[in-house]
Copies of this chain bind each other. A is one copy, B any other.
Amino acid sequence: MTDSADRPVLAIDIGGTKLAAALVEESGRITAYDRVPTPNEPGRDAEDLWRALDALLGKVVAEGGAPGLAGVGVGCGGPMTWPAAEVSPLNIPAWRGFPLRQRLRERHPGLPVRVHNDAICVAAGEHWLGAGRGRANVLGMVVSTGVGGGLVLGGRLVDGASGNAGHIGHVIVEPDGPPCGCGGRGCLEAVARGPGLVAWAREQGWRPGEPSGTGVELAADARDGEPVAVAAMRRAGRALGIAIASATHLCDLEVVAIGGGVSQTGPPLFDPLRDAFDAHARMEFARRLEIVPAALGQPAGLIGAAALIFAPGRYWNAD
């Protein structure tokens, strides 16, 4: 007989670019992993997507050869109803109100199935086993195509009224700033998301090489000292520093862990970030905040999805 403590979690990460799944042990060790491109082409419908996910899960579970599962944990792009997890990911047009949790429960009868926002899972992973481990008050951030996050206070993941707590990307950093995808204006995400930085840099005369002009290339150019790329990262860093100062004033944080593609830029991003934070966060309690790179890298979301199952109470406080 197998003790449930020995069983892995089937962890799933659902985004607009790829679907990823893994078996994650209670130690955080990943014993099986696979991914497929999200079948996101025009004309694909909700069931096409579900079939691709279903096949991926079958393959990962078979690869792991596990005798059973402890549960199914999922990070998925928002928005979604929560905790029911009828999902409508911005970058997956085929799923609008798709009953993801219910479908996974039908696929895995008798097992706990828990779904949360993908950025919240990253934050949970970083708190459980990454840069926020052992700290009670942590903001985990993902600065990438968007800017997302998740909040742990008093040692517990904060869900808020509707599972939407942690939206650091929509803390306002320039009240009259650029329009944001959320419909507002001057949000951190409007300024600091990768595509926004690239667009700003192009307007200022940045001429990326072929074929890309991505945030990764902008980051590389900033590290090489290209003046417009440096200015773009200074702009992003300042916005991040202001938003983090507001967040720690409101929540009295110990650690902010920053991951995601843009965060790989290094000093051209983090130096102006710290300058802006230092200028705005003057009270002693706020100045104690540690701002650090995320520690888990790409698997953070899968590890956090597993935490929803392995550490309820800390990371899951819903039905």
What residues of chain A have their CB less than 8 Å away from a CB belonging to chain B? 79, 136-137, 151, 153-154, 156, 158-175, 182-187, 238, 242, 245-247, 249-254, 279-286, 288, 317
Q: Which residues of B lie under 8 Å from residue A184 when comparing CB positions?
A: 245, 279-282
**Identical copies of this chain, number:** 2
Question: Within the assembled complex, what's the spacing in Å between the Cα atoms of A165 and B246?
Answer: 11
A245 to B168, CA, bound (A): 11
Q: Are B284 and A79 in contact (CB under 8 A)?
A: yes
Shortest CB-to-CB span from A176 to chain B, Å, is: 9
B158 touches A251 (CB 8 A): yes
Distance, CA A183 to CA B285, complexed state (A): 13
CB-defined contacts of A173 to chain B, threshold 8 Å: 172, 175
Contact A317 B154 (CB under 8 A): yes
How long is the Cα–Cα vector from A292 to B222 in the complex, in angstroms?
46
CB-based nearest B residue for A174:
B175
**Assuming A153-B153, A170-B283, A284-B79, is B164 touching A252 (CB within 8 A)?**
yes
In whole angstroms, what is the CA distance A245 to B167 when docked?
11
Contact B250 A250 (CB under 8 A): yes
Which single residue of chain B is at the shortest CB-CB distance from A160?
A: B252
Contact A242 B161 (CB under 8 A): no
Which B residue's beta carbon lies closest to that of A165? B252
Query: Do B250 and A251 touch across chains, with their CB atoms under 8 A apart?
Result: yes
Name the 8 nearest CB pairs between A and B, nearest first. A160-B252, A183-B282, A170-B249, A165-B252, A164-B252, A164-B285, A167-B249, A171-B246
Contact across chains for A246 and B246 when beta carbons are under 8 A apart: yes
**Of the residues B158, B242, B251, contact of A154 by C-beta under 8 Å:** B158
Q: How far is the CA of A19 from the CA of B280 in the complex (A)?
A: 32
Report 22 cross-chain contacts, Cβ distance below 8 Å, ordered by A residue.
A79-B283, A154-B156, A158-B251, A158-B252, A160-B252, A161-B254, A162-B288, A164-B283, A165-B250, A165-B251, A165-B252, A167-B250, A168-B249, A171-B249, A172-B242, A182-B283, A183-B282, A183-B283, A185-B279, A186-B280, A187-B280, A246-B250
| A156, A172, A254, A288 — most chain B CB neighbours (10 Å) | A172
Known A280-B186, A282-B183, A283-B183; contact A160-B253, beta-carbon cutoff 8 A: yes
Determine how close the nearest CB of chain B comes to the CB of A309; give it in whole angstroms: 20
Across-interface contacts of A154 in B (CB, < 8 A): 156, 158-159, 317
Having A170-B283, A246-B246, one finds 7 other A-B pairs with CB under 8 Å, namely A136-B161, A159-B252, A171-B250, A183-B283, A184-B279, A185-B280, A250-B251
